[in-house]
Amino acid sequence: MAIKSNIVIDQGTDYEVTINVKDANTTPIDLNGFTGQAQIRKYFTSTKKYDFSVTIAANTGEVTLAMSAANTAKISAGRYLYDCVLTSNTNVMSRVVEGIVTINPRVTR
């Protein structure tokens, strides 16, 4: 089951967040062989999406989502949805985090 975590991104800035994936005993999960995908969409059914880059530190269970300033500048200010899905080397998919993204508008260009 995915954890719920709402995030705020300032439009036109670099963004990065690290998620620690742990088991019920708070032990980091070994993510060797996993790949990740994370996206922002206005609605669940939206066809337009904004991709995060996903980096996995397999031995520590850390998953980092990042988006460059050039990419956050392309997202209109407002409220969106996001999630991150990890896929094992046996094609088992797990959603590790999901929530609301608030894009704050920028003034300085």
Query: Where residue 35 sits, what CATH number does that domain have?
Result: 2.60.40.10
Look at residue 109 and tell me if it is in a domain.
no
Look at residue 30 and tell me if it is in a domain.
yes
pLDDT tens for each residue of 59-68? 999 999 999 9
pLDDT tens for each residue of 31-57? 999 999 999 999 999 999 999 999 999
Q: CA–CA separation, 26 vs 20, rounded Å?
A: 9
Strand-pairing partners, residue 37, are: 85
Q: Which residue, among 105, 98, 109, has the nearest Cα to 38 in the 3D structure? A: 98
- Predicted pLDDT at 2: 83
Q: Which domain holds residue 27?
A: 3-104
Count structural domains, the chain: 1
